[in-house]
Amino acid sequence: MDKILVGLKRVVDYNVRVRVRKDGNGVETDGVKMSINPFDEIALEEALLIKERGEANEVIVISIGAPEAQQQLRTGLAMGADRAILIETSDTIDPLSCARVLHEIIKKETPDLVLLGKQSIDNDNSQTGQMLAALWGRPQATFASEITLDGGKARITREVDIGLESIEIELPAVVTADLRLNEPRYVKLPDIMKAKKKQLDVIPLADMGVEAGPAIRQSKCEPPTDRERGIMVDDVAGLVAALHDKGAL
C-alpha cells in the first residue's frame, strides 16, 4: 500500500489527576501535562510497524485542534511518521464534525488505510472511526487487537464482549486500535531533533469547507462525589445486614 493516515488527539496525560475547573466549565488544562491519546499512540505504532515490514510507503499523522497540538504531532513525527497535518481550530468539535474533516483529508491524500484509536480518554465517545467509515463508504474494523495485511485485504482480530472475533475486510478501510494491539515505542532525543525538520502542514479549519460545531453542548461539569468509607463485617450475616441498612436489599 501507499499511505496510512493516523489520527492523533491532544488530551490530558493519563497519569494526571483530572480536576474540574472552578467555574464548572470543563476540566483544568492550564499547566497540565498534555499528550497523545494513548489509543491513538497505539494506532500510530501499528502503522509504523506495517511500514517497517515494507507493507506501506508513508505514514501521515493528523490532528484537529489548537496550535498547541503541534507538540503531539511532533511526537508522532519523532516516533517515525513521515509528515503531519494540523487542522487548526480553537473550538472543540464533536465526533461527527471530526469525521467530516478527516473525510476531506482522505479525499486529498487517498490513503489505503486509516488507523485511529478506538476512543479518546477525555470524552470516551468511541464514535469517530465508525462515522468516518460511513462517510467514506468503506469497511471498518473496530477494537483491533491484531492486524494482518494480505494484498488488498486486511484480517483483523477484534475484542468483543464474548472474546475475540476475526474478520476480513477489503482495503481501503478504517481500523480502530485497542489496548492490546501493541506497545508504543519510546521516543529518543535524536528522533525528537530529526522530527523538527519533518513536514508539518497547518490548515485552518475554515479552509476545509466543513461546518464544525458541537451537536451536543456541555452545560456543566462536576467532580464525582467522595466515596464513603468502607466498613468491615465479620460474616455473611453482617454483610447482609449492612446492605439492608443501606437500602441495597
Would you say the pTM of this structure is higher than 0.95?
no
**pLDDT tens per residue across span 93-131:** 889 999 999 999 999 999 999 999 999 998 888 999 999
Dihedral-angle region of residue 204 (phi above 0 means left; psi in -120 to 50 means alpha; beta otherwise): beta
**pLDDT tens per residue across span 156-199:** 999 888 889 999 999 999 999 999 999 999 999 999 999 999 99
CB neighbours of 24 closer than 8 A, spacing ≥ 6?
Answer: 220, 221, 222
User: Domains of the chain by range and CATH?
Assistant: 3-222 (3.40.50.620)
pLDDT at 215: 66
What single string gives the DSSP state of each residue in 111-180?
-SEEEEES--TTT----HHHHHHHHHT--EEEEEEEEEEETTEEEEEEEETTEEEEEEEESSEEEEE-GG
pLDDT at 35: 94
Count H helices, E strands: the chain? 6, 11
By the 8 A CB rule, do 89 and 205 touch?
Answer: yes
